[in-house]
Amino acid sequence: MAGLTAARRIADAGHVVSVLDKGRRAGGRMATKQLPGGRLADYGAQFFTARREAFSVVVARWVEVGAVRQWCRGFARDDGHPRYVAADGMGQLAARMTVGLDVRQSVHVDAVRQVAGRWAVSWPATARAPAGLLEADVVVLTPPAPQSAALVAGQATIPQLAYAPTISLLVALGDSPSVPSPGGVQLQDDPTWSWIGDNMAKGVSRLPAVTLHTSSEVATARWEQDDDGLTVDLLRAASPWLGRAEILGTRLQRWRYATPVQPHPTTCVVRAKGGLVFAGDGYGGPRVEGAFLSGRAAAEAVLNRSD
């Protein structure tokens, strides 16, 4: 969200922008996975709220064109804040944001270096993309802060931010799960889970599919466990939420930098006289809205830059 927001704003102002993304699809934690039988499951961000006017205006536009819809106004109780979900999953909202942008996928940037007054962004060859080098006047970095810091080592320093991990378990089911209305449960004291989401109740999937997020403590303790053993253990812990439905398939996703523990007090950080700008939910706050606000601030820092 932060990177695509910044890219869109800078491009709309008339500048040439390239988006480099290490994934096969843009969006980062705005991610949706296809499971057996065409089931869909969001496995990163599950929903978002809009509490600031700047984001509310954008969300209203998305609602108007059918990109997002209101899901509910809370889970255990109605707190008055609409929870929005993307019509076909968070990944599709990210895809909409890329339309018209130069987005290059499967690009694993390994260094950002200043060369003759400009910035050289380099990446090695992968199975899906050749090696490359891109020169730019300004580079906006929106990975988690530890990853961004590694990319600019020797060129700039940025605040050290800590993140809490999570592990997502996606389960394709033959029947509806035992997740109460409206289809989402946020947990604080559960020994395993922090979130349970029914993707069919959200309107993302036409067939039953559940997303479960572990607590950060469980993710930290079980991070190195092999996928097969971890899946067995997590399915056992998930059984009260899955009911008697047949399990048709599962997927695991590890998010090492799922949630910033204590976001930086500024919405973006500028270095190298404006040549490097750092953004993301580690600066804007641990929500989709926070990432948006950080991306917008990063774009303004670029557009207001004076050489």
Read off the pLDDT of residues 62-72 as tens digits, 9 standing for 90 and up.
999 999 999 99
Q: Is 184 within the bounds of a domain?
A: yes
Mean pLDDT of 229-233: 98
Q: Is 203 within the bounds of a domain?
A: yes
Q: Is 301 within the bounds of a domain?
A: no
Q: Supply the CATH number for residue 218's domain.
A: 3.90.660.10
- Is residue 256's pLDDT more than 80? yes
Q: Alpha-carbon distance 32 to 29, whole Å?
A: 9
Q: What pLDDT is stored for residue 92 in this prediction?
A: 96
Q: How far apart are the first and last CA of the chain?
A: 28
- Name the residue range of residue 218's domain: 163-260
Per the confidence metrics, is the pTM higher than 0.85? yes
Q: What pLDDT is stored for residue 79 in this prediction?
A: 86
Q: Is 52 within the bounds of a domain?
A: no
pLDDT (tens digit per residue) in 192-220: 999 999 999 999 999 999 999 999 999 99
Q: What pLDDT is stored for residue 76 in this prediction?
A: 84
Q: Is 193 within the bounds of a domain?
A: yes
Q: What pLDDT is stored for residue 306 in this prediction?
A: 67
Q: Is 201 within the bounds of a domain?
A: yes
Q: How confident is the model at residue 128 (pLDDT cuts 50, 70, 90)?
A: confident
Residue (of 198, 229, 234, 195) closest to 215 by Cα position = 195
- Is residue 307's pLDDT more than 90? no
Mean pLDDT of 165-169: 98
Q: Alpha-carbon distance 166 to 183, whole Å?
A: 20
- Work out how many domains the chain is built from and give that number: 1
Q: Is 282 within the bounds of a domain?
A: no
Mean pLDDT of 62-85: 94
Mean pLDDT of 261-270: 96
Average pLDDT, the chain: 96
- Cα 267 to its chain centre, rounded Å, is 17
Q: Alpha-carbon distance 246 to 267, whole Å?
A: 45
Q: Is 237 within the bounds of a domain?
A: yes
